[in-house]
Structure 1
Amino acid sequence: MHEVIAHGVPAALVALGAPEVEACLEYRVDDPYAVSMAFGAGCALGGSSVAWVFARKLLVDGVTTSAGLGDVRVRPYDPEQTVIEFWVDGACAVLLLRTEDIRAFLSATYRAVPLGSEWRRISWDEVLARLTEGQH
């Protein structure tokens, strides 16, 4: 079984009158370059839960400087808060999280897989099998 680090974090959806939402940051050691952030059904159109997957390094960089050019962007708001923007089809959801919560989550991921050692956790045989699947 692969180790999974899950960390619930309160997040403020930045919109007039929007309630605080519970989000969950997740890190899987078998996918060492990625983190995911999931939101419950209360945050999604149509009542479905939503999850975004993005690079752990984006979160690492984003707590100290603006990071990301695509669908997920992370930047400091002030010394205690970090903004995460999720873009889709020209629309943007903006979340405000406590930087302390993000750092605690990242610390747990570093204990599981230190930065720079991610490549050691990749099952290269599985990657090669997926890449060559159906090519016989």
Structure 2
Amino acid sequence: MSMRLRYEPTDPYVVRACFFTDSDEPVEWILGRDLLADGLRGSAGEGDIRIWSAVGRGDRSMYIALGSSAGTALLEVPVPDVMTFLEDTEALVPQGTESGHIDWDVELANLLADS
């Protein structure tokens, strides 16, 4: 299985993680950018998504556990790759400035259209 992470500054709080399995269609999960960063420093998340790093034990990996009604998956991801990805997102949208990158008029229009 392989994973591709995608970040869009117009949706600055999330990271889209696309997992490529043996099936025809990839599986996409939406992860909080902060959750992914917290997982580098220790254990983060609860319920359907849990992330933790094993770097302190000499491992260069972090682990992502995903669960749904369809099943569960435990993924091993190289820490340097995730660190580089998060540094790149930080260069686009520094932490704490996310709300300034959202088009609130469009978001409000979407909410009103859905009601």
Does the pair score TM above 0.5? yes
Q: TM-score, normalised by structure 2?
A: 0.89
Asked if 1:106 corresponds to 2:86, the answer is yes
Identity across the alignment (%): 33
Q: Among 77, 80, 90, which residue is 2:54 paired with? A: 77
Deviations, residues 72-98 of structure 1 (Å, cap 9, x unaligned): 111012341100111112732001111
Specify the SS of the correspondent of 1:30.
coil
Counterparts of 1:70 and 1:122 in 2: how far apart (Å)?
A: 28
Q: Provide Cα deviations, 1:43-66, integer angstroms capped at 9, x if missing partner.
A: 15x432111111100001001111
- Aligned match for 2:102, one of 116, 119, 122: 122
Tell me how large the CA RMSD over aligned residues is: 1.6
Q: Which runs of 5+ in 2 are unaligned?
A: none
Aligned to 1:66: 43
Q: How many residues align?
A: 112
* SS state at 1:37 partner: strand
Structure ID, larger Rg: 1
Using the alignment, how far apart are the partners of 1:134 and 1:74 within structure 2? 32
CA separation in 1, counterparts of 2:50 and 2:114? 36
- Where structure 1 has 5 or more consecutive residues not aligned to the other structure, the ranges are 1-20
Aligned to 2:67: 87
TM-score normalised by length of structure 1: 0.76
Higher helix share: 2
